[in-house]
Amino acid sequence: MITRTEKMTLSTNAQTWVEQALATMSLEEKVGQMLIVDFAAIFTNREHENWQRITRLIREQHIGGFILAGGSLYSIAMLTNELQGLSKWPLLVNADMETGATFFQPWQRARGRAPDLPAFLPGGGTAFPPLMAIGATRSDEFAYEIGRLTALEARAIGIHWTNAPVLDINNNPRNPIINTRSFGEDPELVARLGAGFVAGTQASGVLATMKHFPGHGDTDSDTHIELPVLNLETNRLHAVELLPFKAAIKAGAKAAMTAHIAFPRFDASGRPATLSYKVVSQLLRQELAFDGIVATDAFTMQGIADHFDPAEAAIIAAQAGVDALLIPVDTPRTHRRLVQAVRSGELPLQAVEAAARRLLTMKAGLGLHELRTVDINRIADLVNTPAAQQFAQNVASAAITLLEDDGAILPLPNDRPLKIVAGIISNSAAGNEGEHLAEQLAARTHDVASYLLSAGMSEALLAQALVQCREADVVMFELHLTVGAWKGALRLPPQALQFLQVAREAHKPLIAISFGDPYMFEYLPPMSVSLCAYGGGRLMERAAALALLGDTAIQGKLPVTIPGRFAFGHGLQRA
């Protein structure tokens, strides 16, 4: 298996293009290369502000690229093709692809449609399990292949740069934003799997981003909401947080993303890492010898926006040694202030030129100086192939972790139907949590009734759920609780606790499944069976169903510690 991406070596032609481009650029164009703006790749009329905005930013601010805020596979490919043609210089197209180049447009067959139509179409790329699920498999081969396949599909639709993998070590169970986005709590495990993911991603021609430097795993607050402060000694950073980043650099990572977190014992100024010369230039550039692109996290996040003027923060970030400024709050104003700062001597021209040169070098290394567009006709041949889908399902099944089993339920019988009542707790807006799991069980003749347990459910519906719970053969308690930007801490609603209490008082066999945050088991009593899937959606719900029915082996091991309940590495094995 490839464990390192070779250092980007440009051909003579590419090197000449980079230097000629830099020599002919105006100051405004050089500054513009540093700006990576938000863009929703959704169809709109050409007179719509969404299209007018992005074309104006290309024309007037000379942006270096954009980060996708949404879009379907075909709309991304077609619109980025057109925007590449409008831009004087190649655009870097960036996207958050921690779990694949999905960009779903799900479709479900409605009543009255032709019965030979598929029942469901995801309308996107291959979905992979969260990184913590990969951690549960302990497989660097899985990490590498997920990176490779994601990048292969990304390049097919015109994406060159992913904000993945997350290399934060999730050693704080109260972390409200990293959680299952991390490979786990063990530095060596995160380093090994992260290096594999980086190598696989870049083997298919996409820039991998190691984030959030120098570490976001030991926080108990979300940088989207506030500015966390980590009082970690330098020795601790090197021994723990920095290990995965060092491994990723050794594997050839071509981009890094900074954290909006203050490390006052490392930089007494109290500035977040994004704006810290000591973190970016001294630690990352000089000490760790990283020579790729350094990008900020989004400037719209409260960790920056609540404490600094956004345009002034962009200047400070550039002074610190950052190359790419992601999602400026006001791109024209930020561009204008950066140009003014160079002309006044506040920001050295050499810093801007060094950033522009790195970005141009990456573009040339990706071949964008010769070909910027993608072949629309090839997308359906390359994206979400049956082989990729099967691989994703294999990874999902290998990740399922059995935390406890009293030996009385698993596997669920195939020879007699059970009445199963599922209580579902979710903080997702999708509204279809648990449906695919229920479909899989119903296909084996089991009768499944599901209830969404929430603070908003009516008293009559809750009463019905409790009656069904008392009459069930088996009760399932499904936790579809995932961390996310601006979500805050995860909690169980009173209705869920009441449902659980009734099931226990009725002495019903209880199966608890976490389709998200594994730490929720800390707040649950012992169950007949507890399964950890680390993520939700059809992929992980099918994996859980296969495990419950005994169709697949259960072999996952916890990549984190669940305080007071289960140790790192715990996982009961079932053939």
Strands (E), 73-222: 92-95, 107-108, 120-121, 161-162, 207-213
| DSSP 8-state secondary structure symbol assigned to residue 566 | B
Which are the contacts of 252, defined by CB distance < 8 A and separation ≥ 6? 4, 5, 6, 7, 198, 199, 202
CA distance 275 to 36: 17
User: What is the per-residue pLDDT for 531?
Assistant: 98
Confidence band of 410 (pLDDT split at 50, 70, 90): very high
Q: Is the dihedral of CA 255, 259, 260, 264 positive or negative?
A: negative
- For the chain, how many helices (H) and strands (E)? 20, 16
Which residue do the tokens 């990549």 mark?
A: 559
Q: In the structure encoding, which two tokens stand for residue 330, read together?
A: 């006001």
Q: What is the pLDDT of residues 436-476, one digit of tens each?
A: 999 999 999 999 999 999 988 999 999 999 999 999 999 99
In degrees rounded to 5, what are phi and psi of residue 456? Answer: -90, 0
Q: In the structure encoding, which two tokens stand for residue 239, read together?
A: 């021994």
Whether the per-residue pLDDT at 315 is higher than 90: the answer is: yes
Contact, 152 vs 379, CB < 8 A? no
Which are the contacts of 60, defined by CB distance < 8 A and separation ≥ 6? 332
CA distance 364 to 18: 7
Contact, 462 vs 496, CB < 8 A? no
What domains are there in the chain, each with its CATH number? 28-101+129-379 (3.20.20.300), 400-548 (3.40.50.1700)
- Assign 480 to helix, strand or coil: strand
What length is written for the chain?
575
Q: What is the pLDDT of residues 165-204, one digit of tens each?
A: 999 999 999 988 899 999 999 999 999 999 999 999 999 9
Pairing mode, strands 120-121 and 107-108: antiparallel
Phi-psi region of 100 (alpha: psi -120 to 50; beta: other; left: phi over 0): left
Confidence band of 223 (pLDDT split at 50, 70, 90): confident
Which residue do the tokens 């449906």 mark?
A: 435
Tell me the HSE value of 487 on the side-chain side, using a 13 A CA sphere.
18
pTM assigned to the model: 0.95
CA distance 54 to 39: 7
Q: What is the pLDDT of residues 362-396, one digit of tens each?
A: 999 999 999 999 999 999 999 999 999 999 999 99
User: What is the per-residue pLDDT for 488?
Assistant: 65
- Assign 479 to helix, strand or coil: strand
- Assign 39 to helix, strand or coil: strand
Angle between helical axes of 386-399 and 140-156 (0-180°, round to 10): 150
